[in-house]
Amino acid sequence: MSCAVFAFPEAMKPASDLSGLLGVPCRSVEVRAFPDGESLVRVAEVTQVAILYRSLDRPNGKLVELLLAASALRDGGAQRVMLLAPYLAYMRQDKAFHPGEAVSQRVIGRLIADHFDALATLDPHLHRIKRLDQAVPGIPAFGLSAAPALAAAMPQKSDLLLVGPDAESRPWVEAIAGPLGLDVLVGEKRRCGDREVDLAIPGIERVAGRPVVLVDDVISSGTTLIAAATMLRDSGAGEIEAIATHGLASSEALAQISGAGVSRIRTTLSVANPTACIPIADILANGVRSAGWIA
Ligand code: R5P
C-alpha cells in the first residue's frame, strides 16, 4: 500500500526526519486562514495509508484543522488515516476534579477515535488509567516512551542524581536511571492550583554537592520545576539541569526556571519550543513500524 507522512507547516522538519527514516515521502498539509478566523485545509497526492503528523500543544485551533485534514485525506482516497501526535493534549483532565467540570480526556479521546484509525504519541500523561487505549477507545493507541532519548541526553557526570518531582514520574525516572546506573530521588507533589504546588523530596539531603537532573514528562507553567529547583538549591545541590519529554513553557516560565537555579533546560523535539533539542525521530519510526502502520 502507498504511504506518506502528512505534516502541518509547523512540523515539516520533524515530520520529514521521520519520513526519511521510514523511507516514505513527506507531504505538506496546507492551511489557510479566512478573514473570519476559519481554516481552509488542503492535502494533495493522497496515499492509501496516511500518517498525519501534528503535536497538539496549544491544541484548540489545531484540533479543528486536524479533523479537517483527516476528512480531506479520506475524501482523497486514504484507506487508513493514522494520527501521530508526539504531544497529545487534554490527557491530564481525566476526571471532574470539581462539580460541573468536563472530563476533557474522555471527550478528546473519543473525538480522535471517531476520526482516526490509529493513534501514536509519546509519553502520554496518564494518571488514573494505565493504558492509552482506555482514553482513546476503539482504535489501536500506542503510548511510546521517550526514555531512551532522555537517557541518551543525560550528562556524563560522576555522582549524577536524577530527581523526579512526583510519584507519577517514578516508573520512567527509574527506567532512565536503571540502565545508566544512576541514583534516583522522587518527590511527593500536591497541586493546589495551576501555578501552585506543595512539594516534598524525601532524602533531599543526598543532593548536597552533587550534580542533579530534574526529569519530568512535561514542563507547562514551570511551577513544578521552579519548586523542585528551589528546594534542591537550598539543600546544597551542585549544578541543576532539567530534562523533559514535552516543553510547553512560555519564555517567561523558562526564565523563572532558570532564575530558580536550573542551568540548562532541554526537551525533546515533540513540541517546537526554545528548549527542544532531543531527537525522537527514531523512537517514532520504530513505533510506527511496530504498530504495523507500514511494512
Ligand atoms: C504532573 O503530574 C506532571 O508530571 C508535570 O509535573 C506537570 O504537568 C508540570 O506542570 P507545571 O510545569 O505546570 O508545573
In the prediction, which pLDDT does 174 show?
A: 94
Please give the Cα distance from 226 to 219 (Å, whole number).
10
In the prediction, which pLDDT does 99 show?
A: 97
In the prediction, which pLDDT does 293 show?
A: 93
Pocket test of ligand 1: the residue of 88, 214, 223, 224 to mutate, having most ligand atoms within 8 Å of its CB, is: 224
Atom of ligand 1 lying closest to residue 194 CA? 13
In the prediction, which pLDDT does 130 show?
A: 86
Task: Find cell 531512551 and name the residue.
Answer: 148
Out of 13, 62, 95, 189, which one is annotated catalytic? 189
Per DSSP, the residues of the chain read --EEEEE-GGGHHHHHHHHHHHTS-EEEPEEEE-TTS-EEEE--S--SEEEEE---SSHHHHHHHHHHHHHHHHHTT-SEEEEEESS--S-S--S-SSTT---HHHHHHHHHHHH-SEEEEES---SS-S-HHHHSTTS-EEEE--HHHHHHTS---TT-EEEESSGGGHHHHHHHHHHHT-EEEE-EEEEEETTEEEEE-TTGGGGBTS-EEEEEEEESSSHHHHHHHHHHHHTTBSSEEEEEEEE---HHHHHHHHHTTEEEEEEETTS--TTEEE--HHHHHHHHHHTTS--
Q: Is 224 near ligand 1, meaning CB less than 6 Å away?
A: yes
Q: Is 220 near ligand 1, meaning CB less than 6 Å away?
A: yes
In the prediction, which pLDDT does 172 show?
A: 84
Instruction: Give 248 Cα–ligand 1 centroid separation in angstroms.
Output: 10
Series of mean pLDDT values for 10-residue runs along the chain (295 residues): 97 97 98 98 98 98 98 98 98 95 97 98 92 96 97 95 94 92 96 92 97 97 97 98 98 98 98 97 97 89
Q: Is 17 near ligand 1, meaning CB less than 6 Å away?
A: no
Which residues lie closer than 8 Å to 56 by C-beta, 6 or more apart?
Answer: 62, 63, 66, 85, 87, 88, 89, 90
Is 189 catalytic? The answer is yes
Instruction: Give 219 Cα–ligand 1 centroid separation in angstroms.
Output: 6
Atom of ligand 1 lying closest to residue 248 CA? 12
Instruction: Give 268 Cα–ligand 1 centroid separation in angstroms.
Output: 16
Which protein residue's CA is at the shortest distance from atom 5 of ligand 1?
218
Instruction: Give 231 Cα–ligand 1 centroid separation in angstroms.
Output: 16
In the prediction, which pLDDT does 223 show?
A: 97
Pocket test of ligand 1: the residue of 122, 190, 216, 221 to mutate, having most ligand atoms within 8 Å of its CB, is: 216
Please give the Cα distance from 252 to 286 (Å, whole number).
35
Q: Is 267 near ligand 1, meaning CB less than 6 Å away?
A: no
Instruction: Give 39 Cα–ligand 1 centroid separation in angstroms.
Output: 31
Kind of pairing between the strands at 30-33 and 39-42: antiparallel
